[in-house]
Amino acid sequence: MLMQRDNATLLVVDVQQKLVPAVVDPAGMIARVRWLLGVAHDTGLPVVFSEQYPQGLGHTVPELLAAAPAAPVVAKRHFSCVAGECLPDELLARPQVIVCGMETHVCVLQTVLELLEAGKQVFVVADAVASRSPHDIELGLQRMRDAGAVLVSREMVLFELLREAGTELFRAMSKRYLQGEQP
Mapped onto helix, strand or coil, the DSSP state of residue 74 is strand
Active-site annotation holder among 76, 81, 100, 120: 76
CB 122 within 8 A of CB 101: no
Tell whether omega for the bond before 85 is within 30 degrees of 0, i.e. cis. Answer: no
The side-by-side arrangement of strands in the sheet containing 8-13 is 73-76, 47-52, 8-13, 96-102, 121-130, 150-152
C-alpha to C-alpha distance for 39 and 22, rounded to whole angstroms: 26
Does 107 participate in catalysis according to the annotation?
yes
CB 103 within 8 A of CB 14: yes
Active-site annotation holder among 81, 86, 100, 107: 107
Active-site annotation holder among 14, 86, 100, 136: 14
Mapped onto helix, strand or coil, the DSSP state of residue 148 is coil
Does 175 participate in catalysis according to the annotation?
no
Does 14 participate in catalysis according to the annotation?
yes
Neighbour count for residue 135 (Cβ, 10 Å) = 11
DSSP state for residue 106 in the 8-state scheme:
I
Active site residues: 14, 76, 107
